[in-house]
Structure formats: structure tokens, C-alpha cells
Structure 1
Amino acid sequence: MTHLSSTASPARSSLRRSHALHAVRVLRPLAACAALVLGLLPGAVPLAHAANAAPLKIGMTFQELNNPYFVTMQKALNDAAATIGAQVVVTDAHHDVSKQVSDVEDMLQKKIDILLVNPTDSTGIQSAVTSAKKAGVVVVAVDANANGPVDSFVGSRNFDAGAMSCEYLAKAIGGSGEVAILDGIPVVPILERVRGCKSALAKFPNVKVVDTQNGKQERATALSVTENMIQAHPNLKGIFSVNDGGSMGALSAIESSGKDIKLTSVDGAPEAITAIQKPNSKFIETSAQFPRDQIRIAIGIALAKKWGANVPKTIPVDVKLVDKDNAKGFSW
């Protein structure tokens, strides 16, 4: 699963081809089914009759919506729902699992057909997932998996993202020196990124992780935490941030210090892409995710399940290394 190089090995290329073929096998029948439902193929239900049916209702609960990554997801959800005439109910948990559980219960009262859940706490959301399944709702977890009877999970290869980013960092500092990890909220995607990072750095015996602190994936907190790390470790040569939101705070601290400290991250957020392209930027790489694709696939899988198909339990979405050489023109 590890993705430790920007140049794919034959085995990795073969694996990617396998993933691509799998995606085609999954999504091709979904497209055919969607076309049938919309009356684009012979034998479809007449559109006039379909118009009289109650519209599909999709609920999505986000762990937060003050992050461009999740805002992008929400827009993709609205766009996709509009193309199939579905209604959308969206809630923001503000990283409060009790609120998220309550939000899901409210959605069930509104008779949603599909629940897309982006859990703020994978364990804490289990009761809500169970309630949704008892109500006959299709449940697909997005970005982070949820405990309980989830029909499918669509999310990035977070281990690969951390590994890719930290191998890049290690090479950028010449394979030797002190580095630090700007950690985040202990949810599975973040834990996997850190695990991937440490796995990659372990292959560089002269690179030493001297500090790991929680920047809470927030610019202001990450700024303060990074300032403390730089002060405590005067020989620091590199920092890995678990997300681009935190990395922007870390970048401000690095620039203020005047030191040559390289920074890598995960997400592919617009601000990060812009920062990487600046001349002599200390922000040198981000392992980009594809939030729009995650939502599109999640909706497709949910529809397939609702229509009676057997769907994969997990659908991993590849990440992409973005640096100054390919940042121009990249976007979610």
C-alpha cells in the first residue's frame, strides 16, 4: 500500500492499473443504471412517472465545514445531487460527536434515503450508523471510516500520503538531519498519515524525528506550536504537517524564524498550491487528495447499493504528489 516515490515502480504501476480497472468495473454499471433511471436507455421508466415519485433524499454529516477541503466536498455533493434531482440535507458537527449523532437522528426523522457520514469520531458515531441501518438507510462513510454497519467506505490512501510526503522531505534535506511532525486530531486519516510518515523516515537512518506536537489542524494553533518547536530545536531541518490548514500556520512560523526549514504536508488545498509555487518557498510539497472524487464515488456506490448491487466495503482513492514542478494548474 505504501507509495514512497514520485516515480512509480513496475509493481506500483501494475497496482494502479488494477485499481483503475476496478474503478471502471464498479462505475460503468453505475453509469448504466443511472442512465436507465433517467430514461436515457430503452426500457426506462417514463420520465413523467419518475417525476411523480418522491425525490431521493441524501443526508451528509460533516465533521466540520470551516475547512476548504470539506467545503469542496459539499459543493461536489450539491452538484451531483442536482444532476439526479435529489434533495440534500447537510449538517456540520463542529467536531462534536454528540451533535453529529443528534444531527443524524434529525436526518432520519426527515426520511433520508442515503446517509453520507464524515465522522468526527469513528467510534462515537456508531450508534447513529446503527440507527440509520435499522431505518433502511444506505450508509457510506467518506474520508474517514465509521464503526458500525457501514455499507461502504470511500477515502484517500492516507498512509500513502504521509509516506510520500515524508520521503520527499527526507530527500529534500539530503537524507540527514532533525525533523518534526505537526500532528492533528487523532482520527484514523490523521493517524494513518503519521504512521506512513514514520514508516518512510525509518528508511533514512540519518534522519531523526525530534518532536511531535498537535497543531489541531488549525492555522493559529499550528503557528504557535511550530514556533515552540523551532525554538526548542535550533537544528531543525524539516517539518511534516498532517494537513494543509496547519501547514499554513507552520509556514508563517518558519518564514518568521528566517531559518531554512523545509515543509511538506497533505491535502492539495488552494492556499498550499499557491505557496508551493512562490520563489524559494519553504513549503515544498503536498500529497494532494481528491475530495470531489470521493463524494462522486460515494454517491455512486450508495445508489448502487440502494438499487440492490453488491458493493465493495472499501474504495481507496489515490493521492498525488504535488511540488513546484507540477503545482501550476493543479486544483481539486
Structure 2
Amino acid sequence: MKKKRFTAYFLASGIGIMALAGYGPMVNAASHSSSSTSSKKVIGVTLMTLTNPYFSTMGAALQKYGAQAGYKVVVDGANMSESQMLQQVDSFIEQHVAAVVMAPPDASAAPSAVVALNKAKIPVFTIDTNVDMSVLKKMGGKIVEFVQSNNYKGGVIVGQEMVQYLHGHGDIGIVDYKLAQSVLTRDAGFYSVIDKYHGIKVVSDLNGEGSTPGGLEAASEMLSANPDIKAIYDINAPSGLGAVQAIEAAHKVGKVAVIGFSGSRQAVEAVKKNTVFKYGVMQEPTLEAKIEMGNIVKYLHGKSVPAKILTPVFKIDKQDAAKYLPIAYH
């Protein structure tokens, strides 16, 4: 019955840490309903997946910082499935949780879940990747706060690294995941750089599903179809590591490089080794979680919080990879 109720509603409904210094509009909880019951001490979290170490690290950090503030934090992984995320949101509504944190696997499908939470008077916070805000606005929904790494700047850094590696000329492939808003923002930053270099051509852009197996499959396919590819841009560490495996399997080590987002310990180690993974960009999921949970607690206590917060990203290369290993996620 619970699933049927939510599904019916769903079908019918049809950046530096700049904000910490006060950037962006502020939102407060003056009109937010609160309760002293035990259920109001629970915060629900639905992340696009927990098999990616980025999100498992983020989930554990949200639980840690929530517990420090006296909240029980329930973390679910949606396994890259929007339908699973919707079911998890429905469960949180049934539990009357104090707030919900979302990192949706599909930005365009997520607004209906936000509207359902709004209707239940449960404040919504997004982290790492947002819902499609243009769709949400049309539906009359709202989120309280969005915390993410500076994905556009990260994309710019990767673009600069790509130009440097290729000296402005060469065919490249992209292991992508266009369903996530965060990835679209990274891609925009990347293209803002490489579009200025007409000698660099994107000859393949395939969905790597944000995973190592997906990255392996996508990179293998593009290398087979485009033997002149000189480098692959990856949108996250798991897919980048999959691309490394594909290059090794194709016996193209030294001929094809991986350049992209690389914040996991394994990816940073690969950049340090520098045989295939040449350059990277690092994010800090623990920092995002700390800021998000801190502001959720503030909001639930009637205080104002920024509508958007951007956390820093860092360029990783062979020379400084060792310096960043201590803060790389597992």
C-alpha cells in the first residue's frame, strides 16, 4: 500500500567554500514544523549508490556527524536506480523523519520525490548532485540547501590537464554519466577549455554508469572503434579505474592516458604511479557531509543556512599525489 500511494502521487505530479562566507540566498526554518517525538531525531539519506567508495565514505560521514549532533542517520543506496530512490523516499515519509538528504541518480526524475517530501513537510537537502531545478521550479517544489564540490572548476582543471598532455592536438574519448547533474556541470567546465582547441576532437562519448565495470566496458568499446584515441576523460574515480583496465587489456599503456576525477585512494595511487592515470582532480566527500549535516542541524533548530555551497577541488599530478593520499577516500 505504501508503494502504491507514492507511485500514484509520482505519476500524477507528472560555489572554494564560497557559500560558507555568505554567498547565495539564505533559507531558514521559521515556518518548518518540528516535533520533540523520537521520529524527529531521524534523518533519512538516499545516495545514488553505496558501491562507489565516494558515496559510501559520504554516507559514513553523514552518520558520524549526525550522531555527534544527537541524530540517527539512516543511509540507503539507490543502486543507480531512480525507482529504488523513490521507494526509499516513500519509506522516509512513512517514518516522518526530520529531514531527507538526496544524491539522486537521475536529476530529471528526482523532482517528484522532492515535491512528495515537501507535501509531507519534510525539508529536503541535496548533496554532491542536485535534482533538475528547472523541473522542480515548474512543479512548485523546493530544496533547502545543495552542497557540492566545485564541479565546474574541476571540469576546467581536467580540460587544462588534457590540453597540456596532448599539446593541443589529439582524439579523445569520454567515459560519461549524463543522468547526474554533477557530471553535466563537470562536462561543461571541461568543454569550456577544450572547445578553444580545434586540434582536440571528442570521437567517442559513452555512458560508463559511474562504475568500474561500466568504465571498463565503455573504454574498451571506444578504444576498439577509435584506435587513434590518445586520452580518455573520466567523470569519477571508479569509471577512470575501469578505463585504466581497458587500456591495459588493449596493450595501450604508454599510448593512451586517463585524465579526470580521481579522488579515491586507489585512483590517487594510480596518478602517483603515472603509467596510465596521468592527471586528476580530487573532491572531499567527508567535507561535503560535514557541512551538509551541520547545516541540517542548524536549520532544524530554526537557523538560516545558505541555499548553495561549493567545496574546493584539487589538482592531482605525479609530483603532489603523495600529499593528497591522507585525505583520499577509500
Counterpart Cα distance in 2 of 1:92 and 1:228: 28
What residue is the counterpart of 2:85 in the other structure?
100
Count of residue pairs brought into register by the alignment: 289
Counterpart Cα distance in 2 of 1:228 and 1:97: 26
Counterpart Cα distance in 1 of 2:84 and 2:220: 33
One-letter code aligned to 1:80:
Y
Cα drift, residue 288 of structure 1: 0.9
Cα drift, residue 25 of structure 1: 5.8
Counterpart Cα distance in 1 of 2:275 and 2:261: 16
> Aligned pair 1:236/2:221, yes or no?
no
Check whether the contact 1:173–1:262 (CA below 8 A) recurs between aligned residues. Answer: no
In structure 2, relative to structure 1, the CA distance for the partners of 1:221 and 1:99 (3 Å cut) is closer
Question: Residue 230 of structure 2 aligns to a residue in which SS?
Answer: strand
One-letter code aligned to 2:173:
A
In structure 2, relative to structure 1, the CA distance for the partners of 1:326 and 1:127 (3 Å cut) is same
In structure 2, relative to structure 1, the CA distance for the partners of 1:157 and 1:24 (3 Å cut) is closer
Cα drift, residue 274 of structure 1: 1.2
Counterpart Cα distance in 2 of 1:122 and 1:207: 29
In structure 2, relative to structure 1, the CA distance for the partners of 1:219 and 1:100 (3 Å cut) is same
Counterpart Cα distance in 2 of 1:62 and 1:251: 26
Unaligned runs of 5+ in 1: 1-14, 27-51
Unaligned runs of 5+ in 2: 1-14, 24-35
What residue is the counterpart of 1:11 in the other structure?
none
Check whether the contact 1:169–1:262 (CA below 8 A) recurs between aligned residues. Answer: no
Tell me which of 168, 173, 177 is aligned to 1:175.
168
In structure 2, relative to structure 1, the CA distance for the partners of 1:53 and 1:97 (3 Å cut) is closer
Counterpart Cα distance in 2 of 1:301 and 1:118: 16
What residue is the counterpart of 1:5 in the other structure?
none
> Aligned pair 1:136/2:121, yes or no?
yes
What residue is the counterpart of 1:65 in the other structure?
50
Which structure: larger Rg? 1
What residue is the counterpart of 2:293 in the other structure?
299
| TM-score normalised by L of structure 2 | 0.81
> Aligned pair 1:264/2:249, yes or no?
no
What does 1:200-211 align with in structure 2 at a 5 Å threshold? Answer: 200-211=193-204
In structure 2, relative to structure 1, the CA distance for the partners of 1:184 and 1:123 (3 Å cut) is closer
One-letter code aligned to 2:59:
Q
Check whether the contact 2:43–2:97 (CA below 8 A) recurs between aligned residues. Answer: yes
Counterpart Cα distance in 2 of 1:121 and 1:211: 22
Percentage identity across aligned positions? 28
> Aligned pair 1:288/2:285, yes or no?
no
Counterpart Cα distance in 2 of 1:134 and 1:256: 51
Check whether the contact 1:118–1:141 (CA below 8 A) recurs between aligned residues. Answer: yes
Q: CA RMSD in A?
A: 2.1
